[in-house]
Structure 1
Amino acid sequence: MFGRKKHQAEEPTDFWKQRSWVSSAVFLGAALVIGSVSFITGGAGGEADATPSEAVKGPLSTDGSKDSGRGKGERPRGCRTQDGEDVTRPTSAPKDLKWKNLDGVTVPTSASAGPTRYSGPVWWCYAHTPMGAVMAAHSILTHMSTADWRTVAEQQLVAGEGRDAFVSQRSRLGQSQMTGDDAGVPSGFFVGSFTKDKTQVHLLIKGAGGGLGAATVSMRWSGGDWKVKPGTDGSLFATSDSGVNSNGFIKWGAA
């Protein structure tokens, strides 16, 4: 997928065609998806599969429908986590950490930090803590490379201009044109600024070739759970792919 070097010499304007984005695409399932668009829409000549059907409503719907089953500010029905007032940034991985395979990408899960509920493709019910935000960031981004990305985007990306831009761009990429061969595995994390409603999560990913990349994800507490807040251009995270090392990261997974 990433062997067609000639397209990397172009200077496209869309975020998912930027060279920094493409070169970091080996680090995460979601980045792999968006980075792939540069080769499909940048002159490859192929048409992407048709846009998937509209997402169904689910446990994190916030439009006031019966599916939400809650008032404003309440947790989704059936979601219980023991959060307390814990706003302490984690200094280690959860003791109950378990790794789960998601379409070829290894994703961290935890009974204490989440996800604790699985509704079809939607992994949800994260602890209202910094560690809960870390777990949500990994799962939500990785789901963007699956066939059910549209449903997860509807439920677990913050609604607005950024989500609309992401859905429009992601729809250009057919599922049959994706591969997880180059996807990396989680190697570390740390939490930046944190409040009860928003935080920045920094992820360290080891690529298939052994190199390290870093991604910064903006998370928001919305509709009673953690969600990814896309940029206005549809980007799901900011990347760094040069001079990255593991200093300052809490090691886990492929570290």
Structure 2
Amino acid sequence: MGLFSRDPDSDDDADGAKANFFEERGFIASAIVIGAVLICLVVWFMVGGRSDEPTANPSQAPSTVVPTAQPTDEESTEPPVEPPTSAPTATRTAPPPPNNGTGGCHNKSASQAIPRLAAPVAVSWQFEGKMLIPIQAESGPARTSPNGVRSCFAHSPTGAVLAAMVALGQLQNPETAVATLQTRVYPGPGRQAAIAELGKPSSTPSAVAGEIQFAGFKVLDYPPNATRAIIQVVADLNGKAYGALPVTMRWYKGDWYVELQPDGSLNGSTEPDVLSSLSGYVRFSGSA
């Protein structure tokens, strides 16, 4: 069972090719998880996830440290075509130290306000493989292990958002994917299923055309004093559309962990949403 799965009893002929695609390739374990939400979203979109091709807002390449807070509940309009942008670059502003004794999971007074309109502020963006991930002194990550795995996020809605994005970014990086799967995924059947796939041959495509970067998020569920949160993470699909997928986070032993479904996937039979705009989502990326 791959990281993404689909109901095998579905008889929708229009989606048959897409279903077969995922059944054959699986997107499992280190390579499943290396692709995680982002590679799989692009492949799903390119092989015909929707019959009507959405018009997306071409994203600019990430280049700055602090995303500008922008309301996201405005009505979506047809965006103009923009010229190609240069490759993304990491922030030039000094990020928080890799080991911070006051921020992240050490922050006992982190704001419990759910970010619905404005992106987290004072965020630096650093490359994790080819992706940019967000880092904030207040909400984390406040700890980096010798093998590069980042952890220690604030027990807050913003901490859960940052934890989800950082974990997905590290899962797509071959240098940190296995360690992240083993140490940043909530223990249970899902993690066991994913780890069990580590030794199996993978037919995951070795490359996917284009670059993928985070574009935004929406907090779907975060009750008071949450021990479980659901964050809808949005990725820019190569400037052609936006892909959104819910990521379940669990508060465990003083930190946020990604929780996988029993089959080892992020979302079970739930397919990623392909969006034509970021209306209703908080824009959050390394883009200017």
TM-score, with length taken from structure 2: 0.60
Contact 1:115-1:126 at 8 Å conserved across structures = yes
Contact 1:37-1:172 at 8 Å conserved across structures = no
* Higher-RCO chain (CA-CA 8 Å, sequence separation at least 6): 2
For residue 242 of structure 1, give the secondary structure of its aligned residue in structure 2: strand
Contact 1:37-1:173 at 8 Å conserved across structures = no
Distance in 2, Cα, partners of 1:203 & 1:133: 11
Aligned to 1:121: 148
Contact 2:25-2:203 at 8 Å conserved across structures = no
- Inter-CA distance 95–35: structure 2 relative to 1 (3 Å threshold): closer
Q: Which sections of structure 1, spanning at least 5 residues, go unmatched?
A: 1-7, 22-27, 39-76
Q: How does 1:1-255 map to 2 (within 5 A)?
A: 9=17, 11-12=19-20, 17=25, 29-32=35-38, 81-84=106-109, 86-91=111-116, 92-119=118-145, 120-145=147-172, 146-172=174-200, 178-179=206-207, 182-195=210-223, 196-237=226-267, 238-253=270-285, 254=287
For residue 142 of structure 1, give the secondary structure of its aligned residue in structure 2: helix
Distance in 2, Cα, partners of 1:110 & 1:211: 27
For residue 238 of structure 2, give the secondary structure of its aligned residue in structure 1: coil
- Inter-CA distance 221–244: structure 2 relative to 1 (3 Å threshold): farther
Distance in 1, Cα, partners of 2:193 & 2:43: 14
Aligned to 1:47: none
- Inter-CA distance 182–31: structure 2 relative to 1 (3 Å threshold): farther
Distance in 2, Cα, partners of 1:252 & 1:161: 32
Superposed displacement of residue 153, structure 1: 1.1
Distance in 2, Cα, partners of 1:174 & 1:121: 24
1:59-96: per-residue Cα shift (whole Å, max 9, x none)? xxxxxxxxxxxxxxxxxx96753242743211422221
- Inter-CA distance 80–243: structure 2 relative to 1 (3 Å threshold): closer
RMSD of aligned C-alpha atoms? 3.5
1:97-151: per-residue Cα shift (whole Å, max 9, x none)? 1101000111111111111111122101101101001011011112222233221
> 2:161 is aligned with what amino acid?
V
Q: Which sections of structure 2, spanning at least 5 residues, go unmatched?
A: 1-15, 28-33, 45-99
Distance in 2, Cα, partners of 1:190 & 1:135: 12
- Inter-CA distance 36–168: structure 2 relative to 1 (3 Å threshold): farther
**Higher mean C-alpha deviation, range 231-240 or range 191-200:** 231-240
Contact 2:138-2:154 at 8 Å conserved across structures = yes
Distance in 1, Cα, partners of 2:231 & 2:180: 19
Aligned to 1:70: none
Distance in 2, Cα, partners of 1:149 & 1:221: 21
1:213-232: per-residue Cα shift (whole Å, max 9, x none)? 10110000012100000011
